[in-house]
Structure 1
């Protein structure tokens, strides 16, 4: 049995979102093909994600100095403890499906906050004399992203910091098998929503085979 995290960051409903519709099709197909696997859905707009703030830094500092978790303040325990829960959950999973819209050339802030809970030195990567090394090798991921324009090619390619960022972060922690499902041009008149959805569905069926 494999553990799969289905992670979404979109304030819209599935009916209103190109990426969430494709994500739902993907995870439903995965369930049909892998009924024995355990799938955990994480809607980042439904949960509280701690930011890395002064309590987190002070808590981490105390732990690194040799103090126990019980010696942290209540606020430090709350934030550091919550981050630890997300980190452990991420490490325990075998596969990941990230679903995001492109907002202002990148990912929603909720997704960035979530990423900050699992890119943790000593847990998902380590520093060596030859530089950082990822610790989560052998895992797979898919990123489904919808954007109003075309960013995979052409003049706007250099402005794409959503899918490229997620792939870079995952590679940094050792997850090098990452497929992308890019749903582009949703704000353009051509080719239109029906054609875009049909193309996305074809890509979903293609990627699911190797996931």
Structure 2
């Protein structure tokens, strides 16, 4: 089985989110493929890129490099998203990545009765995040990925969150340990 780890931890090894992701993945017996979004430095789609992708999509030229990230995502059997809680969701690099992944007829398609149907192979998506404050049930980044998973046909989503890490006087290690307990329960 292949686990795709989408690393949106823009602070690199300084990231507490990345630390939790590495701990989650360290016990994995399966192949882990990491996509480091900071290193990829993806460019947002502009009119010329959209036209190019549409041309290749219409021709069903799925081997074109513009579809590489989508093909990789679609083929993964398990997906882990590591993203700190930024500006009510996640770093913009992750949204740009999703522009590359969200390809009709690769990640999803429309049925004859105009329903969106996901065609990804993943059985689950695990979203790991850390937050400076307390989100209080409004983790819009995770909620966004719940929608993406549904659209792409991924049947299960799971959340691991360590919140309150930047609050003065809080026991950061205790908060991280609580997230580690969540990870242990996921198995």
Give the TM-score normalised by the residue count of structure 2: 0.89
Deviation at 1:43, TM superposition (A): 1.0
Conserved? CA contact 1:134–1:173, under 8 Å = yes
Q: Which blocks of at least 5 consecutive residues in structure 1 are unaligned?
A: 70-79
SS of 2:99's equivalent? helix
Q: Who is 1:118 aligned against?
A: 101
Please identify the structure whose Cα radius of gyration is greater.
1
Deviation at 1:88, TM superposition (A): 1.1
In the alignment, does 2:6 pair up with 1:13?
no
Distance in structure 1 (CA, Å) of the matches to 2:58 and 2:77: 32
Q: Who is 1:74 aligned against?
A: none
Conserved? CA contact 1:50–1:83, under 8 Å = no
Q: Which blocks of at least 5 consecutive residues in structure 2 are unaligned?
A: none
Conserved? CA contact 1:5–1:96, under 8 Å = yes
Deviation at 1:82, TM superposition (A): 3.5
Deviation at 1:27, TM superposition (A): 0.6
Q: Who is 1:131 aligned against?
A: 115
Conserved? CA contact 2:69–2:101, under 8 Å = yes
Q: 1:151 aligns with which of 114, 131, 135?
A: 135
RMSD over aligned Cα, in angstroms?
A: 2.1
SS of 2:4's equivalent? strand
Distance in structure 1 (CA, Å) of the matches to 2:69 and 2:95: 13
In the alignment, does 2:177 pair up with 1:177?
no
Q: Who is 1:163 aligned against?
A: 142
Deviation at 1:138, TM superposition (A): 5.3
Conserved? CA contact 2:76–2:121, under 8 Å = no
Give the TM-score normalised by the residue count of structure 1: 0.79
Deviation at 1:53, TM superposition (A): 1.5
Conserved? CA contact 1:141–1:177, under 8 Å = yes
In the alignment, does 2:100 pair up with 1:102?
no
Q: Assess, with a 3 A threshold, how the Cα gap between structure 1 residues 82 and 192 changes in structure 2: closer, same or farther.
A: farther
Deviation at 1:205, TM superposition (A): 1.1
Q: Assess, with a 3 A threshold, how the Cα gap between structure 1 residues 115 and 84 changes in structure 2: closer, same or farther.
A: same
Q: What is the count of residue pairs matched by the alignment?
A: 185
